[in-house]
Amino acid sequence: MDTVSKADIPLPKPRAFEPEVLAAEIIEKLTYAIGKDTKVAKPHDWLTATILVVRERVIDKWMEATRAAYVANAKRVYYLSLEFLIGRLMRDAMSNLQMMDEIKEALASLGVDINVIAGLEPDAALGNGGLGRLAACFMESMATVNIPAYGYGIRYVHGLFRQQMAEGWQVELPENWLAHGNPWEFERRESSYEIGFGGGVETVNNSSGEDVRFVWKPSERVIATAFDTPVVGWRAERVNTLRLWSAQPIDPILLDAFNAGDHIGALRESNKAETLTRVLYPADATSAGQELRLRQEYFFCSASLQDILRRHVQHGNSLDTLPDKVAIQLNDTHPAVSVCELMRLLCDIHGMDFDAAWDITWRTFSYTNHTLLPEALESWPVPLFERLLPRHMQLVYAINAKILIEARRQKGMNDQEISKISLIDESGDRRVRMGNLAFIGSHSVNGVSALHTELMKETVFADLHKLYPTRINNKTNGITPRRWLMQCNPKLTALIREAIGDAFLDDAEKLTALDAFADDKAFQEKFAAVKRANKEQLANLVASRMGIRLDPSAMFDIQIKRIHEYKRQLLNIIETVALYDQMRSHPERDWAPRVKLFAGKAAPSYHNAKLIIKLANDVARVINNDPSVRGLLKVVFVPNYNVTLAETMVPAADLSEQISTAGMEASGTGNMKFALNGALTIGTLDGANVEMRDHVGEDNIVIFGMTAAEVGKLRAEGHNPRAVIERSRELSQALSAIATGVFSPDDRGRFGGLVDGLYNHDWFMVAADFDAYAKAQRQVDGIWANPTDWFGKTIRNTARMGWFSSDRTIRQYTNDIWRA
């Protein structure tokens, strides 16, 4: 066996990219990997064969990167996230490998249309929204800027539910992205770890009777098995790994129950293990507090940390150097139990003393916060945490004691301040605060936009910020310009190249060269033609899926994102109703024809969000059937919003709705996608909108409404929404139409509760901001009426959005936090 040293085994010759070679290989895969004759192959077989051919080019680069990282023993970055909202991968891989044209030609020579088979690839939806999509953009950017990085997450069998409409109501159906197998993943049976739950902790004493070691004896164990997906950077600069864990029962053959003849009992165990990674939790802003969720979190953290330590030690490193070789980024608090798990592994498994382990732990971790919403801050009841993770509960208390004693002795904090930084919330039933655990267990805590970071310091983390005044820092989010410009908008990409050359492909900030063309008549016409073509594509999609015809010369006004009260889809719908009234009352005015498009999913248990979807559909039905506004106003709620749908909707938008209540949207990233693709933004001074205004210039964005400070003040003083509503004729009429059943004749009271909420408390300032919003919309109409003005502004948006590339964000994480 060992007659040849492994070092002498030659590498395979890298695969070629010529269309003729690719075509031959596709046939080869169809025959020998899929076992199909070209005569009987289904479109799906062609897709799989094509992916397998692309995949081999990916693997060549992947091996190269893995070898180089091994030799360099450089610092590695680990991005821990419960969510990766990836979308489709084939076009991304082909485009980043620069083999789009070649594959297209190869398939054409075989009589296969690339667009037909590309449309069959499932959209990997292992995430809810912004946080999950950010993780996916970061994976691509880390490969692009050549950072040795691994993403760690869960291989959910079912991603985010599919949304269907039943008479305008959202219905959730199971998503099944693995139904046809997944050619992008590689199962790594050898990378498997045991994960425990429950049981108790035994103490080992030394000869003088002191506790020296704690041994956790779990009552349940499952196996975590790795599935690896390669992530290709731009121009295949580097290929990194996304490692997703799948839960498996411990070999059922070996189970005692099985030996005793209890087949059913043994298989029940195995069923239970697999339940762990079966489904993604579909809530994006409330912590459900379900035991299964905590099990998922711990399962994936433990597997990831065991894997990270194994790799570190395998490279001959000592655990003392962990923070020099390893940076672990926690994507929100969802992986915060990692802080305890690393402490457990260092102390209990590797025999390190508590203080040394703590020093290594907080220097290794960093934490990103994505929300200020109190209901979204994770905390777990102490009894649940203790029952599931008894050793980790002990460690929470030990860490808490260390930190609280320091705070008291060195910073002289009083009882009230101490109670706010404590890892245990004592205010009601006792709970473990995951935000405080992540904060205390990290050397860096970052927000995702400048405004959000400042609000973190003033609100959720005010007391911890006092204790650690240098820990909080800002890293404004970004988006990958490969997926969100080059791939989703090839026509605009071609036009930009024609105008300013190729430099922006490698450095998005070079888009500023386009500024010089903003007022150029000929360029504006070409820009308008590209937008028009993209709108035609969206119109075709809406026609074929919903049977609704859209006029591509109307303004496409789009709001697509999760449905949430703070995002204020309701504000948009109410203004649409008011506009409808105005158009009918004043048919003589020169109305700008509009198509109002909505899309987004509601958490299945979020009652008001589901009602907002129904309202959008009810309003759409009435308006679209009213001949008096035909050609002037259309309303469409496009079902089943996902990454793939966004890739068609974003390039087709004229107007981007970013209208959250100020102070509530941590950053937003959809806002960036639209502006980069030449839409005008109507938005509040919230999240990254603030920085977008700074970059595109205040003349090139329409800002309205209260500021975060004004919202805070009004809430503190207590405002009177009823008086506000009564003062606005447009608003009261629109609300009364909605509340009295004009849009819901089959159930006139349907929206009474929704409207009452606005009259009674209006927490999200829908009424308070209405007039400003309506006025801003008329300002948009004015700009639209003057195409030179409109395209001047939208071209400047594209030109000035380069800073919002996630490559910039990743460089900032690398320089300031990871030091990789």
Q: Does 378 bind ligand 26Q (CB under 6 A)?
A: yes
Contact predicate 409/437, CB 8 Å: no
Alpha helices in 412-433 (DSSP H): 415-421
Q: Is 609 left (phi over 0), alpha (psi -120 to 50) or beta?
A: alpha
CB closer to ligand 26Q, 174 vs 753? 174
- Residue number closest to ligand 26Q, CB atom: 130
Helix (H, G, I), strand (E, B) or coil at 504: helix
Altogether, the residues listed in the chain come to a count of 820
Asked if 689 touches ligand 26Q (CB under 6 A), the answer is no
Q: Which has the closest alpha carbon to 678: 641, 702, 650, 658? A: 650
Q: Name the segment binding ligand 26Q (CB under 6 A); options: 284-292, 301-309, 409-417, 733-741.
A: 284-292
Report the distance separating Cα 502 and Cα 514, nearest Å. 12
Pairwise CA distance, residues 617 & 622, whole Å:
9
Cα torsion 680, 683, 689, 695: sign: positive
The owner of tokens 């989010």 is: 477
Give the active site residues: 370, 561-562, 567, 669, 673
Q: Can residue 691 be called a binding residue for ligand 26Q (CB under 6 A)?
A: no
Tell me how far the alpha carbon of residue 394 is from its chain's centroid. 33
369 binds ligand 26Q (CB under 6 A): no
In the window 405-464, what residues touch ligand 26Q (CB under 6 A)?
Answer: 448
CB of 540 to ligand 26Q, least distance (A): 30
Q: Which of 87, 122, 129, 159 binds ligand 26Q (CB under 6 A)?
A: 129
**Closer by beta carbon to ligand 26Q, 247 or else 672:** 672
441/365 Cα distance (integer angstroms): 7
For residues 477-536, which are near ligand 26Q according to CB under 6 A?
477
Distance of CA 407 to the CA centre of its chain: 35
Own/partner contacts of 175-182, CB < 8 Å, gap of 24 or more, are 175/125, 177/122, 177/123, 177/124, 177/125, 179/122, 180/44, 180/48, 180/122, 181/48
Q: CB of residue 234 vs ligand 26Q: minimum separation in angstroms?
A: 21
Using CB under 6 A, pick the residue from 95, 128, 487, 493 that binds ligand 26Q.
Answer: 128
What Å distances lie between residue 37 and 30, 34, 44, 180, CA to CA?
A: 7, 9, 13, 18
Tally Cβ neighbours within 10 Å of residue 401.
11
- In a 13 Å sphere around the CA of 211, the CA atoms on its Cβ side amount to 10
Q: Does 136 bind ligand 26Q (CB under 6 A)?
A: no
With CB under 6 A as the contact rule, the residue among 49, 232, 285, 602 that binds ligand 26Q is 285
Q: Is 642 in the site for ligand 26Q (CB under 6 A)?
A: no
Stretch touching ligand 26Q by CB under 6 A, among 88-96, 142-150, 196-204, 279-287: 279-287
Region near ligand 26Q per CB under 6 A, out of 70-78, 129-137, 412-420, 517-525: 129-137
137 binds ligand 26Q (CB under 6 A): no
Q: Which helix (H) or strand (E) holds 216?
A: strand 211-217
Considering only 25, 121, 140, 284, the residue that binds ligand 26Q (CB under 6 A) is: 284
* Residue ranges in 310-339 that form contacts with ligand 26Q under rule CB under 6 A: none
The number of residues that bind ligand 26Q (CB under 6 A) is 24
Q: Is 134 a binder of ligand 26Q (CB under 6 A)?
A: yes
Nearest distance from C-beta of residue 567 to ligand 26Q, angstroms: 9
3-state secondary structure of 678: coil
CA distance 538 to 554: 13
Smaller CB distance to ligand 26Q: residue 687 or 792? 687
Question: Which CA distances in Å does 671 have to 130, 334, 668, 681, 807?
Answer: 11, 25, 6, 7, 17
Q: Does the footprint of ligand 26Q cover residue 668 (CB under 6 A)?
A: yes
Is 780 one of the binding residues for ligand 26Q (CB under 6 A)? Answer: no
Rounded CA separation 687/668 (Å): 6
What's the closest the beta carbon of residue 370 comes to ligand 26Q, in angstroms? 4
Give the nearest distance from C-beta 288 to ligand 26Q in angstroms. 5
| Paired tokens of 722 | 């009823």
Q: Which stretch binds ligand 26Q (CB under 6 A): 89-97, 160-168, 369-377, 691-699?
A: 369-377
Residue closer to ligand 26Q, measured from CB, 137 or 635: 137
Stretch touching ligand 26Q by CB under 6 A, among 56-64, 127-135, 253-261, 346-354: 127-135
Based on CB atoms, which residue is closest to ligand 26Q, 666 or 783? Answer: 666
**Minimal distance in Å, beta carbon 129 to ligand 26Q?**
4
> Which one, 368 or 524, has the nearer CB to ligand 26Q?
368
Choices 162-170, 222-230, 282-290, 768-776 (CB under 6 A): range interacting with ligand 26Q: 282-290
Using the structure block, give the residue that is written with the tokens 């990836």. 86
φ, ψ at 633 (rounded to 5°): -145, 130
Per CB under 6 A, the segment of 45-53, 626-634, 665-673, 807-815 that binds ligand 26Q is 665-673
Token look-up 């936090």 returns 817
683 contacts ligand 26Q (rule: CB under 6 A): no
| Pairing of β 379-381 and β 431-433 | antiparallel
* Site for ligand 26Q, rule CB under 6 A: 128-131, 134, 281, 283-285, 287-288, 293, 370-371, 376, 378, 448, 477, 665-669, 687
